[in-house]
Chain A
């Protein structure tokens, strides 16, 4: 009888320590989760800012000015466009 009791006591202590350990690990995991959520949000915000930046660079007016001045591109006037009609594919 007393042997069984001693054994159960040991099991109990073991369980108690396991609970403590599990609780600790759960908290660590939770802290990590919070950190990652925070990071996700920060990345999301950064993405928004990058989209803003991208749209500033890709602004139509800016692209047009660059195309005209730096690359020397022009829109052909109507009388300089020739429309070719391709014969239907065989």
Chain B
């Protein structure tokens, strides 16, 4: 049993050999331990990072930009993913016939495509953006090495030019540049989220390592616009601008009870889907950001100012034969020797309006105009809206107070003018304007005139569309209409142009309890007619009739005024129906 004790089996080893072997083993152990300590203890962060780089990924969760729609949910701006085609020429390997096939899919000539692919010096070239989903699927099926599809979001505006000025557009980085897109950028954009995930060898996600930071999707917006009304307004405005060979035009439709803007459009206009021939001038939302001298559409405010102070009644008679203020002669297009206050509005007499205004101290007149919102931003929240111009009363000269009475020497935007007319429509209260749809809730208005004054001015304005008024062409059968025409000489380089005008009409219906306000402005009508009543009046009547029908407003006119003529024979156009 005790082998080492036996003489034959005893090892004759020198003791140093044992020590050497033990020493080597020990040294090896120390090296391994040291290395392990170095890797695990000192170098661990680096190695952990390397390992994570292989197996884990940080994914950004893209936030889709919210949809903008009209009040009935009709889409006005939608972000949708599109594929774009890129090529890396060094990696590109095209087999026979593939070039021709590819060119056919992309709808270009093979020669042109080959030329593009020859540009060797650039690392990556963009071949086509965006592709249609069909094109993308076909190219992906071809599987050509060196061609890449990249996904990106593109903003589409299905209503195109129709709502372009209100909706605005985004730039290449998907940030709002104009209009609602800009005003509500933060709400629409949302916030990108992040998740940290573990992947397996094939790239499948295995699990989340850290809690997911969810992407905050962009919020959707429902505008106050009603696309049916917007289309109608745009169509009628376009017709009027063409017929009158005008330079530009604008139209605003407001719900007088809630302050919502149901339609707002201008001409000229642009197509936000096609930015190639984009001209900043056509992108101007003139109705909101440009001010003009309103002309006679100002007169109802002059009348309200004097009625308010009890200086006149609608039946007071004014001598309107002739008038000189300072060294300026005030002229009327159709002179009348004397008119009542109502007739001054009906026939749009400048002399009458000036005579009314001159009975007021400047501060009182300014106060009325200021309360109606002139010289103040209308507060719609639209980027860049103008406040117009209403100078401080302390700097007024008498002649300025006189011209202001008929809307010169003061400037407003069309939206501002429509907003101010809300005071007459709403028995003296102005509702805050809104480009967003309001829930049917109590909107708190701002009192501008007393109900009695507002009603009195409204019934004066009703005579404008009746026989003897300046805007008989603004009548709507079945409804009572109140409104006021405006024909202003254009201010060009500080001088009034003798033959360039801005024709306007602002009106409301049904006059017994107005629900809608339509304001029309036609810039430089040059086909003969230039009076607000004959140029802007018919647009008002067409649009307002459509709005009233669309919203099912019961007629308020006495029955006998509605006319019925023999219906002509209608020839049905031949169609496939």
Contacts and interface: CB of A to CB of B under 8 A. Distances in A.
Contacts of A78: 476-477, 545
Nearest to A27: B206
A3 interface: no
Interface string A56-85: 101111000000111110100011111101
B567 A48 contact: no
Interface string B143-179: 0000000000000101100100000000000000000
B575 A83 contact: no
Contact of B78 (A52, A59, A83): A52
Given A52-B78, A52-B156, A81 B206 contact: no
B34 interface: no
A8 interface: no
Nearest to A76: B567
Given A55-B159, A60-B227, A60-B228, A83 B75 contact: no
A80 B133 CA distance: 49
B555 interface: yes
Contact of B80 (A48, A56, A71, A79): A48
A54 to B, nearest CB: 8
Interface in B103-160: 133, 156, 158-159
Contacts of A31: 204-206
Interface string B344-377: 0000000000000000000000000000000000
Contact of B559 (A34, A60, A83): A83
B207 interface: yes
Given A27-B206, A79-B563, A79-B565, A72 B133 contact: no
Task: State which size class the interface on B falls in.
Answer: 35 or more
B492 interface: no
B165 to A, nearest CB: 17
A85 B559 contact: yes
A45 to B, nearest CB: 5
Given A31-B204, A78-B545, A79-B564, A52 B559 contact: no
B559 A71 contact: no
Interface in B216-242: 227-228, 231, 235
A45 B83 CA distance: 13
A30 B575 contact: no
Contacts of B228: 60
A81 B478 contact: yes
Nearest to B205: A34
A71 B577 contact: yes
B256 to A, nearest CB: 22
30 contacts: A27-B207, A30-B205, A30-B206, A45-B81, A48-B67, A48-B79, A48-B80, A49-B80, A49-B133, A51-B75, A51-B158, A55-B159, A58-B74, A59-B158, A60-B227, A68-B573, A69-B575, A70-B577, A72-B575, A74-B570, A78-B476, A78-B545, A79-B563, A80-B565, A80-B567, A81-B478, A82-B562, A83-B478, A83-B555, A83-B559
A45 B573 contact: no
A51 B572 CA distance: 33
B6 to A, nearest CB: 40
B58 to A, nearest CB: 16
Contact of A51 (B78, B204, B205, B476): B78
Interface SS of chain A: helix, strand, loop or mixed? helix
Contacts, number: 75
B575 A71 contact: yes
B83 to A, nearest CB: 12
B397 interface: no
Interface string B541-577: 0000100000000010001001111010010110111
Interface in B163-221: 204-207
A48 B227 contact: no
A55 B162 CA distance: 13
Among A27, A55, A61, which residue has the most Cβ atoms of chain B within 10 A? A55
Contacts of B74: 55, 58
Contacts of A34: 204-205
Interface of B: 67, 74-75, 78-81, 133, 156, 158-159, 162, 204-207, 227-228, 231, 235, 476-478, 545, 555, 559, 562-565, 567, 570, 572-573, 575-577
Contacts of A56: 158
A83 B159 contact: no
Contacts of A69: 573, 575
B352 to A, nearest CB: 31
Nearest to A42: B81
Nearest to A44: B64
Contacts of A83: 477-478, 555, 559, 562
Contacts of B159: 55
A76 B156 CA distance: 35
A53 to B, nearest CB: 9
Q: When A and B form their complex, which 5 residue pairs have the shortest distance between CB atoms, in order from nearest?
A: A55-B158, A60-B231, A70-B575, A72-B572, A83-B478
B251 to A, nearest CB: 16
Contacts of A81: 477-478, 562
B98 to A, nearest CB: 28
Contacts of B577: 70-72
Contacts of B545: 78
A69 B235 CA distance: 17
B132 to A, nearest CB: 11
A26 to B, nearest CB: 8
Interface string A16-55: 0000000000110011001000000000010011011001
A45 B80 contact: yes
A74 B573 CA distance: 10
Nearest to A34: B205
A48 B217 CA distance: 14
A21 B572 CA distance: 75
Contacts of B575: 69-72
Contacts of B206: 27, 30-31
A57 B575 CA distance: 19
Given A58-B74, A60-B227, A85-B555, 13 more contacts: A31-B204, A31-B205, A48-B78, A49-B133, A52-B78, A52-B80, A52-B158, A60-B228, A69-B573, A71-B577, A79-B565, A81-B478, A85-B559
